[in-house]
Amino acid sequence: MQPLHLVVGSGPTGVSCAMALLARGCRVEMIDAGVDLEQAAAEKVSGLQAIAPVSWTDEKTSFLRAKMDAGVDGIPLKLAYGSDYPYRLSHGATAVECHGADSKPSCAKGGLSNVWGSAVMPYRQADMDDWPAVTRDLSEHYRAVTKFMPVAASYDNLAQEFPTYTDYERPMPASPQAAALATDWGRRSDKLKAAGVTFGRSRLAVNTTGIEKPGPCVKCGLCMYGCPYRLIWSSADAVDQLRNHPGFAYRPGLTVTAVSETASEVQVKAQTEAGECVSISGARVYLAAGVMATTAILLRSLDRYDQPVQMKDSQYFLLPMLRKRGISRFNRKDLHTLAQLFVEIMDIGVSPYTIHLQGYTYNELFEQPVAKMLGPLRAVFPSDAFFSRLFLFQGYLHSRHSQTVSLALQKSADGETLRVTGEDSPEVKAILRKVVRKLVGLHGPLGAVPLAPLMRPGFPGRGFHSGGVFPMSDNPSQNESDIYGRPAGLRRIHAVDSTVMSSIAATTVTFTAMANAHRIGTLAPGLEN
C-alpha cells in the first residue's frame, strides 16, 4: 500500500497540492476544520436554485444582502450568502490579534475561496526576480490548475505578458459601462501601450457555462453576496469532487495545531470540535491552511514563541475614476458585479514591478458610501449622472513597495494568540502618488480621470494578498524554506500555500499560490516513503 500523505487545509492550495499528489499515485488524506455554511442559509440558496431567476424577488434574496455594508474604504467584511462562516474560528484554532493591520484566517471548508473576488492572473517573470530560479517558471502548473478550476478569460492585449493558460475563451459578459470604457481604450491602445499601460477583460474563476450546476450565469447582479448557482469557483466544490477519488479521504472537524517529524514519518496534532486531542501519522505533511494558520502551526511546532517573523503583503488600495462620458441604463440588473476590467501598469518610472488594477462598474453597493458622505445633500445630488460615469478600481502593489507585517505567536493566561502588527512604510505613499500622477497624465487616452482625494490605501493584509513568511530560497537559513516549501532543518514537513512564496506580486495571489502548490506536490522528492 502507498504511504499516506497528509494535506492540512481545504483551500485552493490544499486542493491543488492534493491534485498533484494523487496524479503521482499517492494516497492523500485532507485534514480540515471544515466550517461550513449554516443549514438554514444553505436551504435558502437551494430554494433559489429550484426556481426560475425571474422569480428571485427582493424578498427571496434579502438574506443575501441583510448583513452586507459598504463604506468609503470598501466592504468592511465580505460575507458569503449572508454568513460570516468563512471567518469563524474552529475549536483549537489560533486567535489572531491585529494592530495596524487587517487580515483574517479561515477555518472554512474551501477557506477564503468562499468569499474571494475570483480574479486570476499569473505572475510576470519580471515580478519574480527574488524567487529561486527553478521555481520561476510555473507555466505547466498554471495550466494544470485551469484543468480543474474554470477560468472565464479572453485572449487579448494582456496575454503577451500574462498568458491565460487555458485553451478556452469564455469571458464573463461585460457590463455596458465596461464595454464603453474598453472601447475608448481600444481606440487609443497604442498610446497606452507606449506609456506602459496594458488593459484587457477581467479573468475570473467562474463556471460561466454552468457545467454540472443548476444553469449558466444569468447575470443576476448578486455576485458580491454569493452566486445563487454557486458558479464562482470555491475549492470546497473541488473537495467534494476529490472525495470520489479512491486514493483520497477528507477528514473535517479537525483543527491542526502542530506537526513534528522523525526520520520515517510525520505526526500531526489536531483538536476536534469537542476539544479532544487527536494525533495522525503519515509519510509527509503539506501545510495549506492559509498564511496565518500555517505560520502559527510552524511557529508552535518549532517552539518559536515571541520570536517575530515578517510577512510580505501586496499593498491594497481603492481608487475611484470617472469616465468623461456617462451611459444610459448603467444600473440595469442583467449584469455580473465582479471585476470587469484589468489594467497593468508596467512603467519603470513608477515601479520596476507591475501595478495591478481591477475595475468594477456599478452595483448597488456603490450607493451606500456616497449616500453617507453626502448626507442630506443626497436629495439634490445628480446621482444618475455620477454613477453612470463611476468606476471603482481596486489596486495592488508588489510586496517590495508595500508595508511589511510582523507576526509573533504569544502565550497568555487566555491561550495563544498570533499577534499581527503592521509596519508603516513611507515608500507606499510615494508609489501611490506616482500611480495617481501617471493616471492623471493619461486622462486623455484613458477617457477617465482618477478621483485622487478619494483614494483609500488599506491596512496591510486588507487585500488578503499576503505570504512570504518562510520564503523559498536556494540555500534556506532560519525562517526560510527550500524550493519544496520545507522550512530550514525539516525534511518531511512542507508548507505549500503563500507562506513560502518568495515575494507577493501585484497580480492576484491565489492563481500563483495554487500553481506553486501544484509544483511542490508534483516535484517534492521522496514520495515513495
Residues 240-255 have pLDDT tens digits of 999 999 999 999 999 9
Task: State the pLDDT at residue 72.
Answer: 62
Q: What residues are paired with 394 via a beta bridge? A: 318, 358
Task: State the pLDDT at residue 380.
Answer: 65
Provide the sign of the torsion angle of the four alpha carbons 90, 472, 353, 508, taken in this order. Answer: negative
Question: pLDDT tens digits for 172-231?
Answer: 999 999 999 999 999 999 999 999 999 999 999 999 998 889 989 999 999 999 999 999
Measured between its terminal Cα atoms, the distance across the chain in Å is: 11
> Is the pLDDT confidence value at 39 over 90?
yes
Q: Are residues 438 and 355 in contact, defined by beta-carbon separation less than 8 angstroms?
A: no
State the average pLDDT over residues 87-99.
96
pLDDT band at 1 (very low <50, low <70, confident <90, very high): low
Task: State the pLDDT at residue 365.
Answer: 82
**Residue environment code for 428-455, b if the CB has 16+ CB neighbours within 10 A, otherwise e:** beebbebbbebbeebeebbbbbbebeeb
> Is the pLDDT confidence value at 292 over 70?
yes
Name the residue with cell 510555473: 138
State the average pLDDT over residues 143-155.
95
Say which residue, 353 or 423, is predicted with more confidence. 353
pLDDT band at 374 (very low <50, low <70, confident <90, very high): low
Q: How far apart are alpha carbons 391 and 357 in whole angstroms?
A: 11
Q: Are residues 472 and 461 in contact, defined by beta-carbon separation less than 8 angstroms?
A: no
Q: Are residues 219 and 205 in contact, defined by beta-carbon separation less than 8 angstroms?
A: no
Q: How far apart are alpha carbons 479 and 269 in whole angstroms?
A: 22
Task: Report the length, in residues, of the chain.
Answer: 529
> Is the pLDDT confidence value at 375 over 80?
no
pLDDT band at 74 (very low <50, low <70, confident <90, very high): low
Share of the chain above pLDDT 90, in %: 85
Q: Which residues lie closer than 8 Å to 385 by C-beta, 6 or more apart? A: 326
Half-sphere exposure (Cβ direction) of 164: Cα atoms closer than 13 Å = 22
Would you list the domain boundaries of the chain?
A: 4-51+81-523
Half-sphere exposure (Cβ direction) of 353: Cα atoms closer than 13 Å = 22
> Is the pLDDT confidence value at 377 over 70?
no
To the nearest whole number, what is the mean pLDDT of the chain? 94
Q: How far apart are alpha carbons 31 and 303 in whole angstroms?
A: 22
pLDDT band at 382 (very low <50, low <70, confident <90, very high): confident
Task: State the pLDDT at residue 79.
Answer: 93
State the average pLDDT over residues 384-397.
93
Say which residue, 215 or 10, is predicted with more confidence. 10
> Is the pLDDT confidence value at 378 over 80?
no
Task: State the pLDDT at residue 77.
Answer: 85
Q: How far apart are alpha carbons 41 and 58 in whole angstroms?
A: 16
In CATH, which superfamily holds the domain spanning 4-51+81-523? FAD/NAD(P)-binding domain (3.50.50.60)
pLDDT band at 119 (very low <50, low <70, confident <90, very high): very high
Share of the chain above pLDDT 70, in %: 97
Q: Which residues lie closer than 8 Å to 125 by C-beta, 6 or more apart? A: 136, 137
pLDDT band at 150 (very low <50, low <70, confident <90, very high): very high
pLDDT band at 393 (very low <50, low <70, confident <90, very high): very high
Task: State the pLDDT at residue 416.
Answer: 96
Task: State the pLDDT at residue 426.
Answer: 84
Task: State the pLDDT at residue 170.
Answer: 85
Cell (9 digits) for 32: 480540515
Cell (9 digits) for 70: 459598504
Task: State the pLDDT at residue 157.
Answer: 94
